[in-house]
Amino acid sequence: MPHQKCVFLDRDGVLNRERGDYTYMLDDFEVLPKVPEALALLKQHGYLLIVVTNQGGVAKGLFTKNDVMACHHKLQQSCDNLIDAIYYAPSHPNYSESLSRKPDSLMLERAIARYNIDVTQSWMVGDSMRDLEAAEKVGVKAILVGDKYSAGSYPLHMHDLWEAAQVIVGGNYSL
């Protein structure tokens, strides 16, 4: 299998609206504007699209794995099934330890091995520093999106996934 390039994507705050609390009810799961278009653009440029998301509410007993899967199904339907894989970490440090949970990088490492991903051509788009730390651990370039952090808090900081996709496919960046 040839090496593939990939865009790893955090879920909450990148693909769907961050609610400040856990998003697990279908009525609350809202795909952000221009996300389907951003994913389509990345696909047109040959990127695998892999979601890597912490879902610690499962370990806390706030919601079930079935709730998470229902949200992922809605995400795929809203985005024309463009996402190649979704990895999620159901653990939470107060309840269960896991190397999958970001900022650890096991979700990314599993995907890299399974899909023969070339990390030098791949990206992570996240809305928190723990997403970027996970990317750094595996040698993937990263883009911070959203408004959780002040401007300039990370070298590549974009408004949203659409802007990040423009940078990724256009090669208009310097690290």
Residue 91: partners with Cβ closer than 8 Å, 6 or more residues away: 56, 58, 59, 97, 98, 100, 101
The SS3 assignment for 160 reads coil
118 is annotated as an active-site residue: no
CA 81-84-87 angle, to 5 degrees, is 115
131 is annotated as an active-site residue: no
- State how far the Cα of 171 lies from the Cα of 57, in Å rounded to an integer: 37
Nearest to 104 by CA among 118, 119, 89: 89
Nearest to 144 by CA among 105, 175, 113, 110: 175
List 12, 104, 131, 160, catalytic entry: 12
Q: Contact, 82 vs 49, CB < 8 A?
A: yes
List 10, 104, 127, 160, catalytic entry: 10
Please list the active-site residues.
10, 12
